[in-house]
Amino acid sequence: MGYFKNIKFFNYRNFSNLNFDFKTGCNILVGKNGSGKTNILEGISLFEKGRGFRKDKINNLINFNNQKTAFNVKSTFTNKEKIDLKINVFNTEKNLKKITVNDSAERQSLKYFESIFSIIYFLPEMERMFVSPPSFRRNFLDRLIFSCSKDYNSIINYYKKAINERHLLLKNQSCDEVWLNKVENNIVSNCIDIYQKRILHIQNINNYLKKININKNFANNYILKLKDDFLDSYSKIYEDKDQYLYQLKKNRNNDLFHSGCSIGPHRSDICCISQNNNFNSNQLSTGQQKTLVILIIISQCIFLIKDLKLDPVILLDEICSHLDDNNRELLLYLTNELNVQTFMTGTDKSFFSFLSTNAHYCNIT
């Protein structure tokens, strides 16, 4: 089991110099609003690629009382062996950070840590997941894929870059046709990869969603679906590169007029449908939507453990709102049945009274 044994902040967010020790199981961070509970979870998420789950600029992570000095975050991560981790600011202007593993920044060391470390998180805005814009759900699914495939973000970024490059070329009436064809080939290659990874991951999540619903006796048996007009119109178009290229060329004038690209995974949506009555999740209450998100998180967690032999770290920010018996039962299942380190935040210790007495409480003042 991989877990964070401690974390140390220097000049980070609202912490000038602060240390916390954690336990292997459930860790509860309790404190008033603005005390820094979410900042601690964000600090843990920074040990993955990117800018943490808030995707904030590096400059905003530096303590506002001491902007002249950079910040750093240190931690000891244990997975059969002790691993010393450290985050330093690398370039504030380009929002770059530097992670070292046992004082090494070598690619081999970073790749090793990536292979044993994965994060799944819940943020309060996810409570309305299925009434949010489609981009919110796409990002949620992509985040789940990234937690088990660390090169996935690069594929997404290459795809977005190619889409933007194509748009610039279309605006140039004297653009090089050969170069435009090459860019569209890059779009299709990345696009096919994204479609296939999304479809496969949805299948993996649904596999465990069904088992959880049966085992935990929930009334509605929900499954995820990828909604995409392009895929619906051309069955398995992602397997036909030539047809995909033909459609891109056919849509050039329309895409130039609308300043975008009318087909592709950037226009997909993810919906959740009840198999019992074909009921769409966008009609559910906030509490019911939260239940679905927690179910998906648990399914993702089981998939990582059973299929990839990877123990994720779970970050649940302000998880106690809209908690009904179903949600409490799911959180108990997550903390008691799955052997993973979990972090939860809340403003009052009494919110977590339903959890095991083995939970470790950290008071944030």
DSSP assignment of 182-223:
HHHHHHHHHHHHHHHHHHHHHHHHHHHHHHHHHHHT-S--EE
Q: Burial, 214: exposed, middle or buried (Cβ in 10 Å; 0-12, 13-18, 19+)?
A: exposed
Element (DSSP H or E) covering residue 44: helix 37-45
CA distances from 339 to 1, 57, 123, 266, 313 (A): 7, 33, 22, 35, 10
Q: Is the pTM of this model over 0.85?
A: yes
DSSP code of residue 359: P
User: In angstroms, rounded to a whole number, what is the distance separating the alpha carbons of residues 58 and 362?
Assistant: 26
Report, in angstroms and rounded to the nearest whole number, the Rg of the chain calculated over CA atoms: 22
Contact 186, 162 (CB under 8 A): yes
DSSP code of residue 350: G
Mean pLDDT, each 10-residue run in order, the chain (365 residues): 93 91 95 94 93 88 78 92 89 76 93 92 93 95 93 94 94 87 95 93 93 64 87 70 90 92 93 76 84 93 94 95 86 90 94 87 90
* Structure tokens belonging to residue 76: 């000891």
Q: How far is CA 97 from the centre of its chain?
A: 19
pLDDT for the residue 95: 66
User: In angstroms, rounded to a whole number, what is the distance separating the alpha carbons of residues 322 and 305?
Assistant: 28
pLDDT for the residue 243: 86
DSSP assignment of 93-128:
TTTEEEEEETTB--HHHHHHHHHH--EEEE-GGGGG
